[in-house]
Amino acid sequence: MKSVIFAERDEVPALGQGTWYMGDDPSRKADEIAALRRGVELGLKLIDTAEMYGSGKSERVVGEAIAPIRDEVFLVSKVLPYNATYEGTLSACEASLSRLGTDRLDLYLYHWPGPHPLEEAIAAFEELQQQGKIRHWGVSNFDPNDMAELYSTAGGDRVATNQVLYNLTRRGIEWDLLPQAQEDDLPIMAYSPIEQARLIAKPELKKLAASLDLTAAQLALSWVIQRTGIIAIPKAGSVAHVEENAHTLDITLSAEILAELDRLFPPPTRATSLEMI
Ligand code: NAP
């Protein structure tokens, strides 16, 4: 099974689960909980959430889903940049832990570059690690310049991941961020790996997937995790979608298929600004 390794010691299957918009519609909650639990059963043990999602509603759904299976889950949440002062990070983490009904996060991310000095968030992350409230910390939406600034900040080299937008239609990171991360042995978490479902509606992708007896989602996801050091975190709100996506962990794409995907969705030919959703 494809996997990634965080902080040189925690190995996690290369497909996890996103949760943005979970909890927004109460009538979907039972399905969302069932989907998350089924995903963990199938090996999708990393669950990604954030204090931002539904202003805490997603964390509450995740908390309910993982209550009976906490030890099987690699749990990720994020602090909003506006909250990322030293004290603000400590209290944001406390609030996330309470909504998630757990005493620890496996990974805590700085959601995107913000107004406060990185030193403050790093100091808070280190304090939270000492207290056993987080195991690792990382960043999200950091472009190569942000990463350079992070690495030049005391303690910044202990970053465990950078979570960024990456899918067949958003390949900009292949130019600079991704090769640098691979050189640094830094796992990349690919968010919106099926472009919030817009990608899998594309006829050219559907046609190629059908010729391989795959769905468009399976082809798009297996392309993301084909490279070493990348974990994709699709959000699936139903057991059917999560089961379909989980199959991706067993797929290896041939050189011919990769070349065809390059033709349909060309790689970057120059540096571009890091895109965000
Ligand atoms: P995504 O995972 O690319 O797409 C989610 C959408 O795809 C949902 O509408 C889902 O519908 C649908 N879907 C999933 N599997 C499917 C399947 N097999 N067939 C058909 N439709 C399928 O988009 P995302 O939610 O934006 O990104 C994933 C996660 O990344 C987020 O949930 C969040 O945890 C994280 N994220 C992080 C950032 C950041 O700034 N760090 C930004 C964006 C996202 P159903 O719900 O009906 O299954």
Q: What confidence tens digit (pLDDT) does each residue in 64-107 have?
A: 999 999 999 999 999 999 999 999 999 999 999 999 999 999 99
Q: Which three-class secondary structure state does DSSP give residue 136?
A: strand
| pTM as predicted | 0.98
Atom of ligand 1 at shortest distance to CA of 234? Answer: 2
Q: Cα dist. 213→208, 210, 219, 236, 262 in Å?
A: 9, 5, 10, 21, 20
Confidence band of 1 (pLDDT split at 50, 70, 90): confident
Q: What is the mean pLDDT of residues 27-42?
A: 98
Measured from the CB, is residue 237 less than 6 Å from ligand 1?
yes
Residue 193 Cβ contacting ligand 1 at under 6 Å: yes
Query: Atom 25 (ligand 1): residue with closest C-alpha?
Result: 235
CATH number of 3-264: 3.20.20.100
- Tell me 227's DSSP state: S
H runs (alpha helix) in 49-196: 57-66, 86-100, 118-130, 144-151, 177-183
Instruction: Among 15, 17, 20, name the best residue to mutate to test ligand 1's pocket (greatest count of ligand atoms within 8 A of Cβ).
Output: 20
pLDDT tens across 98-130, in order?
999 999 999 999 999 999 999 999 999 999 999
Cβ-proximal residues to 166 (8 Å cutoff; 6+ apart), any chain: 173, 178, 188, 190, 191, 193, 224, 230, 232
**CA 253 to CA 60: how far, in whole Å?**
37
Q: Which DSSP letter does residue 17 get?
A: B
Q: What is the pLDDT of residues 177-227, one digit of tens each?
A: 999 999 999 999 999 999 999 999 999 999 999 999 999 999 999 999 999
How many C-beta atoms lie closer than 10 Å to residue 120's C-beta?
A: 15
Burial class, 212, CB count within 10 angstroms (exposed 0-12 / middle 13-18 / buried 19+) = middle
Residue 35's identity, in one-letter code, is A
Q: Is residue 21 annotated as part of the catalytic site, yes or no?
A: no
Alpha carbon distance 218, 200 (integer Å): 9
Q: How far is the CA of 236 from the centre of ligand 1 (A)?
A: 6
- The verdict on the CB of residue 236 being under 6 Å from ligand 1 is yes
Give tens-digit pLDDT for 125-149: 999 999 999 999 999 999 999 999 9
CB 19 less than 6 A from any atom of ligand 1: yes
DSSP state of 167: B
- Are 107 and 75 a contacting pair, CB within 8 Å? yes
235 CA to centre of ligand 1 in angstroms: 4
Q: Any idea how long the chain is?
A: 277
CA-nearest residue, atom 29 of ligand 1 = 18
Residue 51's Cβ-side half-sphere holds a number of Cα atoms within 13 Å equal to 24
- Output the CA 85–ligand 1 centroid distance in Å: 29
Sequential DSSP letters for 35-83: HHHHHHHTT--EEE--TTGGGGHHHHHHHHHHGGGGGG-EEEEEE-GGG
Whether 275 contacts 141, CB under 8 Å: no
Q: Which of 21, 53, 166, 191 is labelled catalytic?
A: 53
From the CA of 20, how far away is ligand 1's center (Å)?
7
Give 86 Cα–ligand 1 centroid separation in angstroms: 31
